């Protein structure tokens, strides 16, 4: 992606999500009767990875990455949705990338100013 059709500044952004699910073994939940109590019977986990690269005329001027892991327990009567966890993980990595960009605003502006 670029700022304009004729701009030498380009951006490349990528996100990856991986999903996991952990269960309490059936024998334990039967013995301890976890399913009928408020104890969690499992956990959903989403790991998000994001990478942002900024280039000026093909020359890299900034590379930023972030990773986070979001987990939520679930039980017989309450379960988070996969969309909830995906949205939370995406928001977390985007905040981290934004934080890193904010910390480098002056350096990035100087890098871009040298070419104009």
The per-residue pLDDT for range 65-103, each reduced to its tens digit, is 999 999 999 887 778 888 999 999 999 999 999 999 999
Answer yes or no: is 4 within a domain.
no
Q: Which helix (H) or strand (E) holds 31?
A: helix 26-32
Answer yes or no: is 94 within a domain.
yes
Q: When comparing pLDDT for 100 and 34, which is higher? A: 100
**Confidence category of residue 116, pLDDT binned at 50, 70, 90:** very low
Nearest Cα neighbor of 48 from 20, 18, 22, 71 is 18
Nearest Cα neighbor of 85 from 40, 51, 44, 41 is 44
Answer yes or no: is 84 within a domain.
yes
Q: When comparing pLDDT for 49 and 34, which is higher? A: 49
Give me the pLDDT at residue 85, please.
Answer: 95
Residue-wise pLDDT tens digits, 41-69: 889 999 999 999 999 888 899 999 999 99
Domain of 93?
A: 14-50+64-113
Q: When comparing pLDDT for 36 and 73, which is higher? A: 73
> How far is the C-alpha of 42 from the C-alpha of 23, rounded, in Å?
4
The pair of structure tokens assigned to 12 is 């490349």
Answer yes or no: is 55 within a domain.
no
Answer yes or no: is 56 within a domain.
no
Total structural domains in the chain? 1
Answer yes or no: is 92 within a domain.
yes
Q: What is the DSSP letter of 115?
A: T
SS3 (DSSP) at 24: coil
Answer yes or no: is 8 within a domain.
no
Answer yes or no: is 101 within a domain.
yes
């Amino acid at each position: 992606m670029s700022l304009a059709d004729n701009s030498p500044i380009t951006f490349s952004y990528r996100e990856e999500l991986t999903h996991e699910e952990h269960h309490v073994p059936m024998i334990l939940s039967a013995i301890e009767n976890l399913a009928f109590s408020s104890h969690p019977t499992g956990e959903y986990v989403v790991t998000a990875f994001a990478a942002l690269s900024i280039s000026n005329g093909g020359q890299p001027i900034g590379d930023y990455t972030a990773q986070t892991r979001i987990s939520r327990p679930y039980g017989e009567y309450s379960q988070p949705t996969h969309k909830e966890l995906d949205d939370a993980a995406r928001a977390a990595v985007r905040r981290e990338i934004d934080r890193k960009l904010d910390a480098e605003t002056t350096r990035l502006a100087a890098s871009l100013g040298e070419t104009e």
